[in-house]
Amino acid sequence: MYAQCRKCKRPIAPNALRCPQCGIPMPLGGVPSVWQMWRANGTATRILFIGACMLITLLVLSMASDDVSDFIAQTSKAHNDAADSRELLLREQQRLNQPDGSERLDRPEPSAATALAPARDAKSLMQGMRIVLREVGDKSRYRQAKAQQRIEGLHLEQQLLPETLLGPKATQAARRTNREYAELLNYTLAVKQASQRELALRLRALTGEGPDGRAIMTEFQRNLARESEEDAALMKNRRAIIERIERIYDLADAHRDGIEVRDDGSLAFADPLVAEQYNRSIAEIGAFLQQSESIDVQRRARTQAALQEIDRLRR
């Protein structure tokens, strides 16, 4: 194999120390360089080309892999942010009107209403939601605790005692208590509905009209629909109990002379039909109380199922 002079480009014999044409020294003694041999060999050239292509492909794949990893990370964060906001909303809507004993009823009603700019990102959305839910909840729970305090002052446990039924004045006072209790129930429902309207308005102003905002409001309305259905069932239940108690008062007023108290504290009725009506009303009240407990159990189960659904969204 002949080499080529790097100056005059003419052939040089192997092991030649100088070019016989131009006399330039040949440090390698006329031996072709590795690069020259690669260039002179077609197979080697193809291998070099393929290697370069593979290197470029690996580089492109590496860049694409980084982009995919970033996309997956961003998608996962978006899912987790959505799950966090849904969980916060669900939990706070559940306790929006549930006093927890921390209410300071000796102080004025909370009135904070922080003006918030529309949320620009997930972080500001969560911060804003916490503020709105806390402020609306503090005010509503305070009002509910006040109403609960008044209900406790009615001493409803005395409504069906023998002395309440056997004394005309005591029965009359019990009727007034029953009416006041009904009014307080209506008040607590009005407080709850007012807090839900205020919460909806403030959340809508915070979340805006973007996709995240619409998702939050959709979740809010879904929670509200379920809770309103449960509230309606509980209110119907409590009104039914009040109505059955009024029936017993009517029975006592109409047949008081035929009612006595036994030694064990139970009532004895001279007329078996009156006794049957009384016992039926008492049994119905017991059934309604059990139904009320069932509604509470269903509400807790519904909340737990919703939390499990939210956990499945996290990645």
Determine which helix (DSSP H) or strand (DSSP E) holds 260, and give its type and residue range: strand 259-261
147 assigned to some structural domain: yes
41 assigned to some structural domain: no
Q: Which two tokens stand for residue 220?
A: 């809010």
129 assigned to some structural domain: yes
290 assigned to some structural domain: yes
96 assigned to some structural domain: no
Rounded CA-CA distance 217/203 in Å is 7
Residues (pLDDT < 50) of the chain are: 1, 29-31, 65-75, 78
Q: Which two tokens stand for residue 275?
A: 């006794």
Buried/exposed 258-292: b ≥16 CB within 10 Å, e otherwise: ebeeeeeeebebeeeebbebbeebeeebeebeeeb
269 assigned to some structural domain: yes
What is the count of structural domains for the chain?
Answer: 1
Q: What is the pLDDT of residue 80?
A: 65
265: left (phi over 0), alpha (psi -120 to 50) or beta: left
- What is the domain range of residue 292? 116-313
178 assigned to some structural domain: yes
Q: What is the pLDDT of residue 48?
A: 67
The pTM (predicted TM-score) of the whole model is: 0.73
Q: Express each pLDDT in 259-303 by its tens digit.
A: 999 989 899 999 999 999 999 999 999 999 999 999 999 988 988
Q: What is the pLDDT of residue 26?
A: 59
Q: What is the pLDDT of residue 13?
A: 67
175 assigned to some structural domain: yes
DSSP assignment letter at 20: T
Residue whose C-alpha is closest to residue 160's, from 72, 219, 247: 247
